[in-house]
């Protein structure tokens, strides 16, 4: 069984695969509480899941949680009537329900794309055989409220056995020292791992970063890393889910 918030077809708005069509499976529950979180309701389990009936039509069934793995797989696969790049397991933090992912993934008819906060190392080790692409957030202390450097390092070393890229959200509160430490961490694993610098979409306690600051951050990161891109949350200004 799995506790799911929603399942729908949409456009990936963040990271290396921005613009691709994906099925999004939003798992409930999260082990963090970041300042810029735009899905705070996903931090806790929920009574019902919203499941899209046809890809992109925005007509949803309301289904009582938890959902059985077979039923969940059937509803996800039913949205693959048009071509999708992959199936995004997102949240919340999907690795909080690793046992469900391990049972679900083999039943799905597409590439598995994991969106994760990069802190649950042991859970990743269990799920890794079933994952094709990993979008790993690197949480700075100014955002997460504490440092996760060791967890991120161990997580990235493990994830590097698959296709992986790093997403680093930059806010007005981001400090130069913590940014440098993040870049050093990625470079220490593999300097060819793509780094996506994402200027925050201001919400809650987070504030916007200045445009010239983003140029400075990118230039600094490019001293150590081969592939550094600046990509905002494009789904926000497209009006997509």
Task: CATH number of the domain at 40, please.
Answer: 3.20.20.70
Please write the tens of the pLDDT for every residue from 179-233. Answer: 999 999 999 999 999 999 999 887 777 788 899 999 999 999 999 999 999 999 7
What is the model's pTM?
0.93
Please write the tens of the pLDDT for every residue from 98-134. Answer: 999 999 999 999 999 999 999 999 999 999 999 999 9
Mean pLDDT of 36-65: 89
Look up the domain containing 72 and give its range: 4-238
Rounded CA separation 74/76 (Å):
6
Please count the structural domains in the chain: 1
Pick 10 or 233 by higher pLDDT. Answer: 10
**Confidence bin at 37 (pLDDT 50/70/90):** low
Mean pLDDT of 84-93: 97
């Amino acid at each position: 069984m799995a506790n799911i918030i929603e399942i729908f077809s949409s456009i990936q708005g963040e990271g290396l695969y921005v613009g691709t069509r994906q099925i999004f499976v939003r798992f409930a529950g999260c082990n963090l509480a970041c300042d810029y979180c735009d899905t705070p309701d996903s931090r806790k389990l929920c009574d019902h899941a919203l499941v899209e009936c046809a890809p992109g039509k925005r007509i949803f069934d309301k289904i009582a949680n938890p959902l059985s793995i077979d039923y969940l797989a059937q509803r996800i696969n039913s949205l693959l009537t048009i071509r999708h790049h992959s199936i995004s397991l997102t949240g919340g933090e999907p690795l909080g329900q690793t046992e469900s992912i391990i049972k679900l993934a083999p039943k799905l008819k597409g590439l598995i794309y994991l969106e994760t906060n990069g802190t649950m190392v042991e859970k990743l080790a269990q799920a890794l055989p079933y994952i094709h692409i990993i979008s790993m957030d690197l949480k700075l202390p100014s955002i997460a409220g504490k440092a996760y450097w060791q967890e991120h390092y161990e997580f990235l070393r493990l994830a590097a056995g698959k296709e992986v890229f790093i997403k680093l959200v930059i806010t007005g509160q981001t400090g130069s020292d913590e940014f440098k430490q993040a870049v050093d961490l990625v470079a220490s694993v593999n300097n060819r791992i793509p780094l996506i610098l994402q200027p925050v979409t201001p919400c809650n306690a987070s504030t916007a970063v200045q445009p010239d600051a983003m140029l400075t951050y990118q230039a600094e990161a490019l001293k150590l890393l081969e592939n550094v891109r600046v990509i905002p949350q494009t789904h926000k200004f497209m009006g997509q889910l």
